[in-house]
Amino acid sequence: MIVQITRTRNELFLIKEMLEIWKNYADGFVFLDDRSTDGTYDFLIENKKKYNILSVLKNNLTDDELSIETNERQYLYDEALKYSNNIICLDSDEYLDGKLSKKELEEILNLNKNTVFYLHWIQYTNKNEIRVDGPWKTNFKDRIGTYEYRAIFQPAQMHSTHLPHTGKNLIIDKPFLFIAHLQWLDKKSAAIKQYFWKITDYINRLKFNIETVPVTAYDQSVNNFNWEYEIFDFPLKVNYDIYTNQNIEMNYKYKFIKDNIQKYQIPNLNDWGKNIH
């Protein structure tokens, strides 16, 4: 049995599309709902039987408390380990794809105990198009792990590994298996997401005096929207306009930005001319 774990906040429009795709490699699911206000929790509870959702955890932190990513990921991982030693961890805007069948993946996992698998992180920009400039041409991320014993995350406030490491790592490369990432499908939505993290970091430094990622790291990631593209052999499994169909004004990241630049008098941290600030 393979169990997928996913931490999500106000991404119900993605989850509704993804669950059928996720079933291609996962037998069951454990979710952590991070204070969603869009009906995510109720939807997951109502569809537990349909998708074999094994558990729906809740994060009850308030906005005045510092969120520690590895605490939440450990909570998710520990819950999944009750059901299976084989765990996939994906964000709401990711799915697995490739030539490898689920049966073949299970055989690989069974032959490699206590191993974390890295997969190529593919950045879709359209149905058959991917982003390949800068760090996005060759980028591998941990998304699958096998565990005979409980492993512990190395503490990280943000941008942690998705799974706790075991000391043994292997790569499964495309075309056999890869991570399809949707972040860059819509430039406006991508800008809001990246600017949201700039604002979040700014507030965390201000309120909790912690080290965060410099804004230049997000700028490098965005590359001022001067992107390079390649045609990719695996067509996107969701509608390429999944983000453009959403109302930006209802995006919780957008509302968070607007509320907090006023509350904390945050200067423009470079919104790439997208009029987010």
CATH code: domain of residue 22: 3.90.550
Task: Look at residues 69, 43, 68, 71 and name the one whose alpha carbon lies nearest to residue 56.
Answer: 43
The answer to the question of residue 189 being in a domain is no
pLDDT value of position 249: 83
- Containing domain of residue 64, as a range? 2-181
pLDDT value of position 269: 96
What is the token pair recorded at 106?
């299970």
pLDDT value of position 43: 98
- As for how many domains the chain has, the answer is 1
The answer to the question of residue 43 being in a domain is yes
pLDDT value of position 138: 95
The percentage of residues in the chain with a pLDDT greater than 90, rounded to a whole number, is 94
Q: What are phi and psi of 61, to 5 degrees?
A: -60, 150
Ranges under pLDDT 50 in the chain: none
pLDDT value of position 60: 85
Contact 72, 47 (CB under 8 A): no
pLDDT value of position 242: 96
Q: What are phi and psi of 84, to 5 degrees?
A: -160, 155
The answer to the question of residue 214 being in a domain is no
pLDDT value of position 27: 98
Rounded to 5, what percent of the chain is helix, strand, coil? Answer: 35, 20, 45
What torsion, rounded to 10 degrees, do the Cα atoms 105, 107, 110, 113 define? -60
Within 13 Å and on the Cβ side, how many CA atoms surround 240? Answer: 12
The answer to the question of residue 176 being in a domain is yes
Contact 25, 96 (CB under 8 A): yes
Residue 138: other Cβ atoms inside 10 A: 8
The answer to the question of residue 20 being in a domain is yes
The answer to the question of residue 208 being in a domain is no
pLDDT in tens, 59-108: 988 878 899 999 999 999 999 999 999 999 999 999 999 999 999 999 99
The answer to the question of residue 91 being in a domain is yes
The answer to the question of residue 90 being in a domain is yes
Chain centroid to CA 52: 21
